[in-house]
Amino acid sequence: MNTSPIIALDFKHQEAALSFLKPFETGTFVKVGMQLFYKEGPSILYRLKEQGFDVFLDLKLHDIPNTVKSAMTSLAAVGADLVNVHAAGGSLMMEAALEGLDIGTEAGQSRPSIIAVTQLTSTTEAQMQRDQLIQHSLNDSVLHYAKLAQAAKLDGVVCSVLEASSIANVCGQEFLKVTPGIRLANDAAHDQKRIATPAEARQMGSTQIVVGRSITGAVDPVAAYEEIARQWKGLNE
Ligand code: C5P
């Protein structure tokens, strides 16, 4: 799996996303989320793949197992390299998601990797305890979901940098720990709560970082991307 920073393409339509990507190299890893996918459908994936980008399709599926299985069968055909579900959907739903992907992957093609969202990086421990009625620490909740995802044979999880090292201890280095909530030292946090810098992400055991507004909102997005990539690879220390 590509380990370059994943750029979150949170744009309103595909023209904006594709024009933003023009100065970026082929092979850059990008993330298509709900905003763009619900507007454009699979055509945005076809366009990005044609242009040589690796794509994380971030739709965070969460429904009954049979529905998620069928949805994943459809998604396997659109060309994403990485897809995801909410671990809160449970073990049976995660197993069904994987089955659906296997069914939908054409012979000779490789199945997209699949990861589970643990607790969103916009969630604090107090919010989790109050809104989800989970009376554990946020770290324990994330770790529990990571273990469930691994038992369901998923490839990894989405978590914050703050939980990546305890997940690595329990689930291993190879298990994907894809971490959003990444900010350069002087950037605004926006709605994210559990944030970290790219260098911290590397030190704490993230396997991939997802960065949106720190790149898409920068005056010079390529320079911001390169600075983030340098820190992520440990070249600035
Ligand atoms: O702009 P920012 O860097 O906060 O964007 C983060 C991206 O990662 C957004 O597209 C958001 O939907 C996504 N994401 C997240 N937290 C998760 C899963 C995905 O922020 N747990």
pLDDT value of position 121: 86
Q: Which residues pair with 30 in a beta bridge?
A: 7, 55
| 111 alpha carbon – ligand 1 mean position (Å) | 24
The active-site residue out of 12, 39, 60, 193 is 60
Which residue's alpha carbon is nearest to atom 2 within ligand 1? Answer: 212
Which CATH code is given to the segment(s) 6-233? 3.20.20.70
Dihedrals phi, psi of 213, to nearest 5 degrees: -60, -25
pLDDT value of position 188: 79
Report domain extents, the chain: 6-233
Q: Is the CB of 193 under 6 A from ligand 1?
A: no
147 is known as an active-site residue: no
User: What pLDDT digit, counting tens, does each position of 156-196 carry?
Assistant: 999 999 999 999 999 999 999 999 999 988 887 788 787 89
| 182 alpha carbon – ligand 1 mean position (Å) | 9
Give the global pTM.
0.92
Q: Count other C-beta atoms under 10 Å from residue 237's C-beta.
A: 8
List the chain residues with pLDDT less than 50. none
Atom of ligand 1 nearest to the CA of 211: 3
Q: Is the CB of 215 under 6 A from ligand 1?
A: no
Mutual orientation of helices 138-151 and 161-171 as an angle, nearest 10°? 50
pLDDT value of position 122: 87
